[in-house]
Structure 1
Amino acid sequence: MKGSPKIRWPSWLDAWPALVGFFFFAWIENVFPGGSRPYSLAWVIVTYSLITWIGMFLFGKYVWLKRGDPFSVLFALFARFSPTEVRVAKGGNKNVCVICISGCSANAYEKSDLQGCVDCYECWELADDAHKEFSIRPWAVGLSRGERVSPAVVAFHITALASVTFDGFSETPGWVAIQTLLWPFVDPIPGSAIQTIESLGILLVPLLFASVYILLCGRVSRLSGGEMPQGEVIRSFAFSLVPIALAYNLSHYLSFILISGQQIIPLVSDPLGTGLNILGTAEYVPNIGIIDARFAWIVSVTSLVAGHIVSVYVAHTISLRRTSNHIKAVKSQYPMLALMVFYTAISLWIVAQPLVN
């Protein structure tokens, strides 16, 4: 087959390389002192690009992007919230899914509730035009499709959720207090004490999130009367946290995008910093008053509450698919509801810190 990979991706490797890559970029953003220097970032981008090209050449582009590339895995998670999907219609996906090497939704997850092959771009490329469908769907429907994803994907999603939370928490007085507490123990270690503490934070916060999630999934399993084994709950309900993650990302980065994003305006006229003024915008000064604290708070509260509501709905929908009656579905969701309320409250507290301090 044209474009066949040179090396077959080991099944045990799953998407763990993508998780390692995500940890690396999270460390660059939150800890690495050169994370804001163009020269350092240029080398990071070049290295990342080389690894991506080599990975796609050796393992095939779809396999690498689905299991080895951190950004593709992250955006695939977030894309499940979108109102669009590509699908190889049922009846036309039999042959292409058999030869799909990236692990499509129709054959990678046992007991899948999917009708047809959804959002697998390898199958989409291989399928006949008559069986290709581009569909419009309600927002967030893609989060409750019924797959039991792999442990690596669950770990990746929890890490993505935890890392952006840590990014916000690291700017609060609470984190300063933790740094002060740990300083006497870390200071004797060679190297920067601040970077060591930040590195521990970026590593331990996802582990804390994962521990709480696994613990509550066990409780969900018990409340379902054993109809949902704990492993199935862990692998099925990870997507229910995506709306809250999206809402928190919006809240956390809104000011940054609207204010720092204005730097694009002068850069389009002088992209290389050589003194050009191609479009006459090189002298533009960003307007830091484009949003105020009140507007930022309203958007943050609205998005986080809306994300919480959608997450509860997604979790309830998944539960209805897995239990024999509505009462069990509702009861089993009490622990997940508590988790979502707690995370939403923590997110609101973090977002509010720059406004009250």
Structure 2
Amino acid sequence: MTASDNPLAHGIGGSADLPISPSLAIAGAVAALVVSFTVLALAWRTPRYDSSSSGRPAWPWLDRLVHSSAWRVGLRVVGFVVFAYAVMVAVLGEDQLTNPIFGIFYVWWWVGLVPLSLLFGPVWRAISPVRTINLAFARISGSDPEVGMLEYPRRLGYWPAALGLFAFVWLELVYPFSTELGPVRLWCAAYVAIMLIGGALFGNSFYERADPFEVYSTLVSKMSVWGSSREGRLLVRSPLANLATVVAQPGLVAVVAVLFGSTAFDSFRESSVWVRYVQSTDTSSFLLNNLALVVFCVGVGLIFAAGCMLTGVAPGTDRRTLPDLFAHSVIPIVVGYIVAHYLSYLVHAGQNTLIQASDPFGNGSDILGTGDWSVNYWLSYHPTLLANIKVLAVVLGHVLGVIAAHDRALKLLPRRHQLTGQLPLLFAMIAFTVGGLYLLFAS
């Protein structure tokens, strides 16, 4: 089986499908960040995004639809049907890459959540099968699914979600048997069990903070135009205003560090430099990849935290709180780099999964009517367009991150440090930009 035939052979593609100058792209990206910061320093001198008042009400008919019982139940049904189908093919299907469970797990679930959340808001919260099961248990027992037996500890914050996300990327990127059915089934079973136990103990607040996929989807959805008021009404906001509504919680930096660091590691492990090194040493490649993944995730977190803390603050302000308060500014960077890294993978492997899903047991059936389809590789046949989209996604993500950080700095930092205090964080973002684009071309 060649890499192109393997639905799990993913990546950003290397210089072969990025027919533009790496040095020109990197220089242009750095210039864009510096110019953006300069313009902001001159023209953006007061905070513009107030999470309590930004946004306008959505169309009344749309608000009624989104909050209707039929809409909510319909989404739950869709999510549970896909979940039941995935369980069926995972339990009864053959241990081969033609089993659609691998595409559902690695492509639709992991990568597909990004465009869905960007377009429609926090999708996983609406379709999550573990929320549906927890709701069913609550109805049977006569309890309230919102309230568990215990109160979720605030100090835990997003840390469980960060650990869950790391467990997923470790399975996908490091574990040598990630394309075997047994490990995937075990991971999913553990996820469902932990989520159901957590929901029973802490109620739905557990999913909001500890479900790795709900946290992932919700943070990405902050770059959409959909928000909600304190009264629960559907609002239309600019993505940057929506981004400002991210609530700082312990572990938020860890979440964005895992998302960004793992995506960067996925590029790095495919680079010729890393491949040659792994092949030339006697050290176990499994050990090396484990260490590299940890270094990338921890490194991103430390660089960002240092950039936030190396600034002048008002008397009495604890510098250690700044990274979580600025962490929302990394979300556009994460989204931009995920788009750059996984775009062709999602388009091609996503189609292949839909084809395989029509014949889940390899017996010639055509359940969905897609069995005779073929993958359309149009995007790969236009390498210049693909290259421009990838570079633009990385650059735009970083520019939006600079804007979000600047607006937050105007709120948090004392006036004399509002500009100079942002310089360490700007340097950190420039480092992310250079590193991201380098990896984009190196793999």
TM-score by length of 1: 0.76
The secondary structure found in structure 1 opposite 2:235 is strand
In the alignment, which residue of structure 2 is the partner of 1:142? 242
SS of structure 2 residue aligned to 1:132: coil
Task: Please tell me whether residue 297 in structure 1 is matched to residue 440 in structure 2.
Answer: no
Quickly say closer, same or farther: Cα 1:265–1:14, change in 2 above 3 A.
closer
Q: Find the counterpart in structure 1 of residue 100 from structure 2.
A: none
Return the offset for 1:344: 1.3
Three-state SS of the structure 2 residue aligned to 1:135 is: strand
Give CA deviations for 1:45-69 in whole Å, capped at 9, x if unaligned: 2331222122212221x22212221
What do residues 270-292 of structure 1 show as CA deviations (whole Å, max 9, x unaligned)? 23433112454313332335423
Equivalent residue in structure 2 for 1:81, among 223, 241, 246: 223
- The one-letter code of the counterpart of 2:396 is A
**Structure 1 partner of 2:258:** 159
The question of whether the paired residues in 2 share the 8 Å contact of 1:146 and 1:318 is answered with no
Q: Which residue of 1 aligns with 2:300?
A: 209
The aligned amino acid for 2:308 is C
Offset, 1:295? 2.1
**Quick one: which amino acid aligns to residue 270 of structure 1?**
D
Aligned 8 A contact 1:15 1:153 in 2: yes
Cα gap change, 1:164 to 1:226, in 2 (>3 Å) = farther
Is 1:56–1:64's contact at 8 Å kept on the other side of the alignment?
yes
Q: What root-mean-square deviation, in Å, do the aligned CA atoms of Structure 1 and Structure 2 show?
A: 2.4
Counterpart residue number, 1:262: 351
Question: 1:198 aligned to 289, 296, 310, which one?
Answer: 289
Equivalence map 1:18-167=2 (5 Å): 18-60=161-203, 62-88=204-230, 131-145=231-245, 147=247, 149-167=248-266
Q: Say whether 1:168 aligns with 2:267.
A: yes
Task: Please say if residues 87 and 134 of structure 1, whose CA atoms lie closer than 8 Å, have aligned partners that are also in contact.
Answer: yes
Is the contact made by 2:307 and 2:426 (CA closer than 8 Å) also made in structure 1? no
Q: Return the match for 1:312 from 402, 412, 418.
A: 402
Task: Using the TM superposition, give the Cα deviation of residue 177 of structure 1 relative to its aligned residue in structure 2, in angstroms.
Answer: 4.9
SS in 2 for 1:140: helix
d(CA) in 1 for partners of 2:300, 2:178? 25
Residue of structure 1 in register with 2:37 after alignment: none
Query: 1:266: how far off?
Result: 1.9
Contiguous gaps of at least 5 residues in structure 1 = 89-130, 188-192
* Alpha-carbon offset, residue 226 of structure 1: 5.8
Q: Which has the higher contact order (CA 8 A, sep 6+)?
A: 2
1:10 CA displacement: 3.5
1:178 to partner: Cα distance = 4.8
Is 1:146–1:321's contact at 8 Å kept on the other side of the alignment?
Answer: no
* Structure 1 residue ranges, 4+ long, deviating more than 6 angstroms after superposition: none
Q: CA deviation at 1:7?
A: 3.3
Matched, 1:321 2:411: yes
Q: Which amino acid aligns with 2:273?
A: G
Percent identical: 25
